Amino acid sequence: MIRTEIGTRLRRRSLAAPTALLAGVLLLAGCSSNGSSQSGATATAAATTASTAPSPTGTPAPTAPSTAPPATTVPSPLPSAPPPAPPAPTASTATELTDDYLAAGQCVAVITDAIIDISPATYGPVPCESRTAVAQVTSRTRTAPARSHVPAARRPACKDDTDFVLDLGPNLARANGGTVRPYDPEAYACLRNLKAPHPGDPGQGGGPMIGVGDCIVRTTAADGEPSGREVKCDATGPSKPQYKIVKKFLEPFLTPRGSTPDTCAPGTAYEFSDGLGRRACADWV
């Protein structure tokens, strides 16, 4: 009985040992398998991260070279230079006073400015489109063979809107650096400024001529005859106006034969001769 029980225990132990050994082997195999799977997953993740990570130097991967031709650089145009300044007017090339010098229609520029009480301004011919042109000749007397003692402002029969009169003989002499001589020929030009102001306009108180619409003060001519001196109609000048010209006409001795001489209207306040063959009728301002 005792032997039988001992034999049974020995058989159980002999069967339990292999069973325990087999369980241990299987357990070790399972652990090894799990470790390999985790290692494989970790390696795969590391490989993926490495493939997407930027380059350590921060330089992008090189790309394929472009086959397009290089762009042509067009140089920017240089800025245009400003137009040259107009040359200063120089002395006239004319050396003798003829009818071609400052003829009607020509324009003039100032060569030298006037010096008060010493010398008037000197003018020279320039194209009318020149930026230096200041006035245009509206009419001109014919060149006379010798000078007279009649003042230049009283010689030519200029239009009433003339701004100034130019004594061409002395002007040409000054332009050429000389002086006028008593036997030099004479001529006069009537000029109008290309731009305002226009002292020859009616009521402006200037210009060599007295016309309809101008205002005057009463004066006496050198021969004792009544005369008039032009002043501004708005009384802004040194003298207040007394009369205003309402009519002008040819003197009776210049009236064409067969025509009736004109006269001032009855009751005209003042009338006088302008010294150029025309008579002026004036009323009170």
Give the C-alpha separation, 176 to 154, whole Å: 25
Domain match, 252 and 193 both: no
- Residue-wise pLDDT for 248-261, tens only, equals 999 988 888 989 99
Q: Which of 139, 171, 197 is the last residue of a domain?
A: 197
- Number of structural domains, the chain? 2
Same domain? 186 vs 128: yes
Domain that holds residue 125: 89-197
Give the global pTM.
0.63
Kindly state whether residue 251 falls inside one of the protein's structural domains.
yes
CB-hemisphere CA count at 13 Å for 205? 13
For residue 148, how many other CB atoms are within 10 A of its CB? Answer: 8
- Is position 261 within any domain? yes
Residues 99-114 have pLDDT tens digits of 999 999 999 999 999 9
Q: Note whether 246 and 281 are within 8 A (CB).
A: yes
The yes-or-no verdict on residue 241 having pLDDT over 90 is: yes
Q: Are residues 173 and 232 in the same domain?
A: no
The answer to whether residues 146 and 238 belong to one domain is: no
Q: Does any domain span residue 68?
A: no
pLDDT value at residue 134? 98
- Average pLDDT over the chain reads 77
235 located within any domain: yes
* Position 80 in a domain: no
Cβ neighbours for 77, distance < 8 A, ≥ 6 positions apart: none
Q: Are residues 95 and 189 in the same domain?
A: yes
Residue 69 has a pLDDT of 53
- Judgement on whether residues 218 and 128 belong to the same structural domain of the protein: no
pLDDT at 279: 95
Of 197, 221, 238, which residue sits at a domain end?
197
Average pLDDT over residues 184-212: 94
Q: What is the distance between the alpha carbons of residues 219 and 229, in angstroms, rounded to a whole number?
A: 7
pLDDT of 32 strictly over 80: no
Q: Are residues 238 and 146 in the same domain?
A: no
Same domain, 94 and 191: yes
Report yes or no: 158 and 138 within 8 Å, Cβ to Cβ: yes
For every residue of 128-183, DSSP letters joined together read TTSTT--EEEEEEPPPBSS--SS-GGGSS---TT--EEEEHHHHHHHHTT----TT
Same domain (yes/no): 120, 186? yes
Indicate if 177 and 228 belong to the same structural domain.
Answer: no
**Based on the domain organization, do 188 and 263 belong to the same domain?**
no
User: Tens of pLDDT along 142-164?
Assistant: 998 876 555 544 456 799 999 99
Six token digits for residue 284: 């009170």
pLDDT tens, 63-84? 555 555 555 555 555 556 555 5
Mean pLDDT to the nearest integer, 46-62: 45
State residue 244's pLDDT score.
97
Q: Please state the rounded mean pLDDT for residues 262-277.
A: 93
Residue 225 is assigned to a structural domain of this protein: yes
In a domain, 124, yes or no: yes
